[in-house]
Amino acid sequence: KAGRRPLVAGNWKMNGLRSSVSVVEAVRSGLAPALLDTVDVLICPPSTLISSCVAATYGSPIAIGGQNLHAKPSGAFTGSISAEMLADLGASYVIVGHSERRAYHYETDDGVHAKALGARRAGLCGIICVGETQDEREEGRTLDIVRAQLAIGVPKGATGADTVIAYEPVWAIGTGLTPTPADIAEVHASLREMLGRLIGPEADKIRILYGGSVKPGNARELMAVENVDGALVGGASLVAEDFLGIVGAYA
């Protein structure tokens, strides 16, 4: 839309052993070549599988990304992984501020901002996630919440090359529930307007994905919504056939 190339991104979360690389191989062999002219495809496996997924997609346009990073390039941060380390493995994207990180690892908007800067420093494209909880939606605070998350999280000078936004209502993740197309359109329009205030005309180049219970059966309808530039897919990205069905919504 408006010249933005759609992106369909899979987030495997904490799922997958070495044998799961076969899912990436199946996605690779199942993708119609014509689709890859139309849509960018990204898989974010656990970091333990990044190397082998990069090898499995070598020579194909399928990108591999991380699910999280530490903001600093290196140091005494036991168990953490930096953007430089992800890039060194061949990752080209990283998810930043997923709602599960915010909920279970107490990530703040300021922390998301620092991580997005870390991603840019290492040449990764950061996928910054925003979204309201069920209570926030019921209280009519959705737009206030996601606009504030965006305003704090997105670094100054963000570009279409280094930044993607994902709108993921927390109550729609892994639940089978989705907002109506009209509700998604309202949030995405508001996010794009806010991006314009933050970074000016470059806002039109930044892709805004929708995430939350995207499945092959609803992908076409969700992807057709104005200002929706692709999908961030959790559960359905673990099954090659389902993930391919969602990418196929752009056929």
The residue with tokens 């206030």 is: 144
Closer residue to ligand PEP in complex, CB, 149/199: 149
Closer residue to ligand PEP in complex, CB, 65/235: 235
**DSSP alpha helix (H) spans, 21-94:** 21-30, 33-36, 50-56, 83-89
Judged by CB under 6 A, the residue of 85, 209, 222, 232 near ligand PEP is 232
Of the chain, the end-to-end C-alpha distance in Å amounts to 14
Angle at 42 between CA 37 and CA 45, to 5 degrees: 155
Q: Kindly write down the DSSP assignment for every residue of 153-202, as one continuous string.
A: HSPTT--TTTEEEEE--GGGTTTS----HHHHHHHHHHHHHHHHHHHGGG
233 is an interface residue for ligand PEP by CB under 6 A: yes
213 is an interface residue for ligand PEP by CB under 6 A: yes
Rounded to 5 degrees, φ, ψ at 147 are -65, -40
Burial 111-135 (b: 16+ CB within 10 A, else e): bbbbbbbbbbbbebbbbbbbbbbee
User: Is the separation of the CB atoms in 28 and 56 below 8 Å?
Assistant: yes
Site for ligand PEP in 8-67 (CB under 6 A): 11
Which residues carry out catalysis? 98, 168
Token pair, residue 11, equals 């987030």
68 is an interface residue for ligand PEP by CB under 6 A: no
- Three-state DSSP state, 16: coil
**171 labeled part of a ligand binding site:** no
By CB under 6 A, the count of residues binding ligand PEP is 13
**Binding letters toward ligand PEP, positions 160-179, x by CB under 6 A:** --------x----xx-----
Considering only the stretches 83-91, 154-162, 201-209, 211-219, report the one whose residues sit in contact with ligand PEP under the rule CB under 6 A.
211-219
**13 labeled part of a ligand binding site:** yes
Closer residue to ligand PEP in complex, CB, 172/199: 172
Q: In the bound complex, what is the minimum distance in angstroms from residue 76's beta carbon to ligand PEP?
A: 30
**153 labeled part of a ligand binding site:** no
211 is an interface residue for ligand PEP by CB under 6 A: yes
Closer residue to ligand PEP in complex, CB, 57/99: 99
User: How far is residue 239's CA from residue 27's CA, in Å, rounded to a whole number?
Assistant: 9
User: How far is residue 232's CA from residue 34's CA, in Å, rounded to a whole number?
Assistant: 21
Closer residue to ligand PEP in complex, CB, 21/209: 209
131 is an interface residue for ligand PEP by CB under 6 A: no
Considering only the stretches 38-46, 58-66, 79-87, 210-218, report the one whose residues sit in contact with ligand PEP under the rule CB under 6 A.
210-218
Which residues contact ligand PEP by CB under 6 A? 11, 168, 173-174, 211-214, 232-236
Question: Annotated binding site for substrate, which residues?
Answer: 11-13, 174, 213, 234-235
